Amino acid sequence: MGRLVVRQLQARGDVPVAGLRPDEDSEDWEDLGVKVCRLDLLEKPERLASGMLGNDALIFAAGSGGRTKDDMTLLIDLDGAVKTMQAAEIAGVHRFLMISMLFAEDRSRWADPLKPLYVAKFYADHWLTHQTSLDYTIAEPGALSFHAPTGGFKSDPLAVGSISRADLAAFLVAALHDDRTIGRTIPLLSGDLSLAQLFDQL
């Protein structure tokens, strides 16, 4: 996900910095001309903040992944996300975009085996909206696919569906540059609207 976002930021003329795990190979990123910094989400917020200094915005695309146990879901998707928010405030990074998940706000829609991830997203999103002063946007995508981008979107809090990772990346980059998305939690699925039309409806 992060690689798609970085490439679209570059295409727009932005200068992204990729936050990598301490053990993650940086060669591919450097080949793309992308500056990297090491961010260990198990560290304290003050340590994370040192890698964020001088940046204008942060897109939180990290996740524990489907192969880890529930303890890492809590440590990365919940506590790691909250520590990243705290670090952003320490570093003076005011714009924060969060990738959540569809129905994260509605416990009645939480289904196994993803309940632990829903819990993490619910409380991380709550912290972002209620315990920070960050200019946030929360994207709540449906099921993420590897399909080619369609460039079509819809935002329906009751609908079920999917969206390609490339389209989610396009949304995040566009939202970063559109202040109408600040303070918004936006369900996101594939649909018939352009991003401009979607933002006009906010």
Closest CA to 44 of 93, 83, 78: 83
For CA atoms 153, 97, 165, 12, give the dihedral sign: positive
Which residue ranges form the domains of the chain, and what is each CATH number? Answer: 2-200 (3.40.50.720)
pLDDT of residue 74: 94
Tell me the β-bridge partners of 193: 153
The H or E element that residue 71 is part of is helix 70-72
pLDDT of residue 66: 64
**What CA–CA distance (Å, rounded) separates 148 from 101?**
20
Q: How many angstroms separate the most distant Cα atoms in the chain?
A: 45
Closest CA to 57 of 174, 165, 187, 188: 174
Q: pLDDT tens digits for the chain (202 residues)?
A: 989 999 999 999 999 999 998 888 888 888 889 999 999 999 999 999 999 999 999 999 998 876 667 889 999 999 999 999 999 999 999 999 999 999 999 999 998 889 999 999 999 999 999 999 999 999 999 999 999 999 999 999 889 999 999 999 999 999 999 999 999 999 999 999 999 999 999 9
pLDDT of residue 149: 97
pLDDT of residue 113: 87
Task: Report yes or no: 136 and 168 within 8 Å, Cβ to Cβ.
Answer: no
For CA atoms 46, 177, 73, 26, give the dihedral sign: negative
pLDDT of residue 51: 92
